[in-house]
């Protein structure tokens, strides 16, 4: 990754295709959630697209377009882990993009909103170790989660 500017793309779940990206963009600007990793760095968003719905047809093509715009990192939007059910293909998508495009993949964008956190805790959705790892970049403190409700 370039030390002066990080160029990234965001891929969102298709069920949120009408999302304006407000929470993702706010978190990017504030370096919150999975974007905290860029604290002190200049960041440029070079692409924003959906997965194109199950089974994720755009995962095969969108990263190519984003790399043409200089993307070095792909972020899967937080909606892929907080929607119900969470995307069951996250790990496959992650492996495919890393292998085919040699890009870093980060699961998450904005902090998990508190209302989703409460629901998924009650349902036990994220009890498995694999999910704990997946939500870690976006699992913020309660005050931050409330700010993203």
Task: Specify the pTM.
Answer: 0.94
* pLDDT of the residue at 89: 96
Q: Would you say residue 39 has pLDDT above 80?
A: yes
Contact 107, 76 (CB under 8 A): yes
Q: What string of DSSP letters covers the chain?
A: --SSEEEEEEEE-GGGTT---HHHHHHHHHT-GGGGGGTTSEEEEEEEEE--STTTGGGGTHHHHHHHTT--EEEE-THHHHSSSPPTTHHHHHHHHHHHH--EEEE-SSPPPHHHHHHHHHHTTT-SHHHHHHHGGG---HHHHHHT-
Q: What is the CATH number of the domain that holds 82?
A: 3.40.50
Total domains, the chain = 1
- pLDDT over 60 (residue 113): yes
Condensed to tens digits (0 to 9), the pLDDT of residues 5-29 reads 999 999 999 999 999 999 999 999 9
Tens of pLDDT, residues 55-106: 999 999 999 999 999 999 999 999 999 999 999 999 999 999 999 999 999 9
* Whole-number pLDDT of residue 28: 98
Range of the domain at 41: 5-147
pLDDT at 118: 96
Q: How confident is the model at residue 149 (pLDDT cuts 50, 70, 90)?
A: very high
In this prediction, residue 3 carries a pLDDT of: 62
**Residue with more model confidence, 63 or 130:** 63
């Amino acid at each position: 990754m370039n030390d002066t500017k990080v160029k990234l793309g965001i891929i969102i779940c298709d069920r949120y295709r009408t999302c304006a990206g407000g929470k993702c963009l706010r978190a990017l600007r504030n370096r919150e959630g999975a974007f905290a990793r860029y604290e002190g760095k200049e960041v440029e968003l070079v692409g924003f697209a959906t997965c194109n719905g199950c089974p994720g047809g755009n995962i095969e093509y969108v990263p190519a377009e984003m790399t043409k715009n200089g993307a070095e990192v792909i972020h899967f939007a937080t909606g892929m882990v907080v929607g119900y059910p969470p995307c069951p293909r996250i790990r496959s998508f992650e492996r495919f993009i890393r292998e085919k495009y040699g890009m870093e993949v980060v699961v998450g964008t904005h902090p998990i909103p508190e209302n989703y956190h409460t629901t998924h805790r009650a349902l036990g959705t994220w009890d498995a170790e694999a999910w704990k790892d997946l939500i870690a970049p976006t699992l913020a403190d309660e005050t931050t989660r409330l700010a993203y409700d």
